[in-house]
Structure 1
Amino acid sequence: MAQPKTSPNALRPSRWLTPLLVHAVLGSYTLVAIAPVILVVLNSFKGSQAIFQQPYALPIGANFDPIGYTTVFEQTAIFRYLGNSLMVTLGSILLILLFGAMTAFGLTEYRFRGRGFLTLYALIGLMIPIRLATVSILKLMVALNLQDTIWSLIMVYSAQGLPMAIFVLSQYMRQVPSDLKDAARLDGANEYQVFWLVVPLMRPALATLAIFVMLPIWNDLWFPLVLAPGEASRTLTLGAQQFLGQFQTDWSALLAMLTLAIAPVLVLYLIFSRQLIRGLTAGTVKG
């Protein structure tokens, strides 16, 4: 019986060596990225002494001590902080996606004088950090009587995320077939109905954008410290700062608070992960 011939290309080292190296690099990067998170979670279940003496040990046996979580739940309004962070983050994301999609639709669908200037003006926000205008923003919020409220944070974060939203969603808007929109108009749909017809087709882009704008909003400390430092409007990230002191730091409580701050982000990522991958890979594979 004749033996099947082996292709010469199958014996080349590059056929298996290149994928192996790629996976090794990606695996190493993943390990470096998640190792600090794992250390934070593990050490949040230890006392301060165990954190410094055995930082890499598992929180089992004598090392297990939930004193950090006990301190957080007894000495802080953790649920209020969590609720404020969720309201600020979700409210900002909703406004960014809504107004970003509407602006992108107008800039890509219609031809009018000054369209190029408006597009450039919107994209300037990607190059100029919004923190440079902190003093002016604070004065504006005081004039509007919105200081020390979560609405001030929602407004600032929405303005911060709009340039990226306009840039990303404009690219996806151009990929929506014009025949689909023209057919809807011929059937009597107005422009608002055409817009809401296009939005569901952009779910991968919207999910990808939501993930990217969510992280800096959730983790931000600067604007909550400047605009909303009060107890009633304090966010989760700002609430963790009370365990940092000039002469003494409660590391158990601080790591417990950070672990609680990580959990909602992971949940939201798992919810949008499939759409995120579809958004990142859109256009890379031909149909």
Structure 2
Amino acid sequence: MKSSWSSRIVWYLAAVIFALLALYPLLLMFLSSFKTTIEIFKNPFAMPSAWSLDTYKKLLDQVPFGSYFTNSIIVSVVSVLLVILFGSMASFYIARFSFRWNGGLLFFFLLGMMIPIKLGIVPLYMLMKNLGLTNNLLSLICMYTATGLPLAVLILTSFFKTLPHELEEAARIDGAGDFRILRSIIFPLMRPVLGTVMIVNFIGAWNDFFFPLIFITDDAKKTIPIGMLSLFGEHSADWSTLFAGLTLSSLPMILLFFFASRQFMEGLTAGAVK
């Protein structure tokens, strides 16, 4: 009994230490957003000498942060919804219908995880240019949807295979079609795994720097990662304003993970066992 308690205490202490190490950079970023650039370099680990919102006011006056924030929200939310919609339909087909090309279809989706998408950036740019989607948020939505589908299909297919067929058979007896079964029966059971897919894809789209740098040039269409570049000068950077922008931009991800962390952890093991 004592050994079990001692081992449990050790695990708790290790978890607390790990949590503190993970949260400390966020705390340092938050504290630095209330400092001046000079104060950040003189006392990087100290508390702010004065708690003032001047850096946040400067951020909103110096750069169109509201526009960057809105663009990031639009791109991230729409791409996540499309990944969930198309990934659910594709996974439901692969897991529930027995055709000889199902394995090849699943492998086709998994190729998106095996081949680095950035290797094809030149033909992708030419494709977006020919479609008239350069300097358009739709180009980012298409890219994040395409890059998010492989992992979503892999996770959702494994989850669908664990669901009993009797649920669908009972619905078909009542006259429900495939789409009705997916919407009314399967979707309510998918909350944990959908939470995992949602968080992973939202964070990837929200933090991405590469694709906005390639496809977006208009300041009004930029997202937060590429828009914050305006705070970097040729020889210096406005670090206090930058930390204020990073603090505001991290809030949606923190809130998302805070409210969906349970579904995220349950979704990681969904489909692991039958």
Answer yes or no: is 1:146 the counterpart of 2:133: yes
Q: CA deviation at 1:284?
A: 7.9
How far 1:69 sits from its partner (Å)? 1.3
Letter in 1 for 2:23: I
Structure (1 or 2) with the larger CA radius of gyration: 1
Match of 2:23 among 34, 37, 40: 34
User: Structure 1 residue 46 and structure 2 residue 35: aligned?
Assistant: yes
Secondary structure of the corresponding residue to residue 51 of structure 1: helix
> C-alpha displacement at 1:228, in angstroms?
1.2
Identify the residue that residue 142 of structure 2 maps to in structure 1. Answer: 155
8 A Cα contact 1:88 1:150, kept in partner: yes
Specify the alignment match of 1:246 in structure 2.
Answer: 234
Instruction: Verify the 8 A CA contact 1:92 1:158 in the aligned structure 2.
Output: yes
Secondary structure of 1:232 counterpart: helix
> 1:77 maps to what in 2?
64
What is the aligned partner in structure 2 of residue 171 from structure 1?
A: 158
Q: In the TM superposition, what whole-angstrom CA distance separates every residue of 1:104-161 from its partner, at most 9, and x where no partner exists?
A: 0000110112111111111111122211111111111100000011100000000000
Q: Deviations over 1:64-99 (max 9, x none)?
A: 343321221101111111110000000010000110
Report how far residue 20 of structure 1 moved: 2.1
Cα distance in 1 for residues equivalent to 2:191 and 2:84: 11
How does the TM-score come out when normalised to structure 1? 0.90
Which amino acid counterpart does residue 108 of structure 1 have in structure 2? A
Q: Does 1:218 align with 2:218?
A: no
Instruction: Give the CA deviation at 1:273.
Output: 2.3
- Rounded to whole Å, the distance in 1 between the matches of 2:271 and 2:212 is 38
Q: Distance in 2 between matches of 1:253 and 1:135?
A: 34
Q: 2:217 aligns with which of 229, 245, 248?
A: 229
Tell me the residue number matched to 1:268.
256
Tell me how far 1:192 sits from its aligned partner. Answer: 1.1
CA contact (8 A) 1:47 1:65 kept: no
Aligned identity (percent) is: 37
Give the drift of 1:16: 2.0
Aligned to 1:55: 44
Residues 28 and 285 of structure 1: is their aligned pair in 2 closer, same or farther, counting only changes over 3 Å? farther
Q: What is the distance in 1 between the residues matched to 2:161 and 2:175?
A: 22
- Structure-2 separation of matches of 1:79 and 1:159: 27
Q: Which letter does structure 2 place at the counterpart of 1:153? A: L
- Give me the CA root mean square deviation: 1.7
Moved >4 Å (runs of 4+) = 281-286
Q: Distance in 1 between matches of 2:205 and 2:262?
A: 22
The 2-side partners of 1:139 and 1:229 are apart by: 15
Question: Which of 91, 104, 112 is the aligned partner of 2:91?
Answer: 104
Query: How far, CA to CA, are the matches of 2:90 and 2:138 in structure 1?
Result: 22
Query: Is contact 2:33–2:247 with CA below 8 Å preserved after alignment?
Result: yes
Secondary structure (helix, strand or coil) at the match of 1:83 reads helix
CA distance in 1: counterparts of 2:178 and 2:19, whole angstroms: 45
Are the equivalent residues in 2 in contact too, given 1:141–1:152 (CA < 8 A)? yes
Counterpart Cα distance in 2 of 1:29 and 1:246: 37
* Number of residue-to-residue matches in the alignment: 273
- The answer for unaligned runs of 5 or more in structure 1 is 1-9
2:162–2:271 Cα contact (<8 Å) kept: no
Deviation, 1:255, is 0.6
Give the equivalent residue in structure 2 for 1:4.
none
Alpha-carbon offset, residue 271 of structure 1: 2.7
**Cα pair distance change 1:110/1:281, threshold 3 Å:** closer
For 2:10, the aligned partner's letter is L
Task: Kindly indicate whether structure 1 or structure 2 has the higher relative contact order, using CA contacts under 8 Å at least 6 residues apart.
Answer: 2
Distance, in Å, in 2 between the alignment partners of 1:276 and 1:119 is: 23
8 Å Cα contact 1:47/1:63 also seen in 2: no
- Tell whether the 8 Å contact from 1:47 to 1:64 is kept in structure 2 after alignment: no
State the shift of 1:266 in Å.
1.3
Using the alignment, how far apart are the partners of 2:261 and 2:23 within structure 1? 17
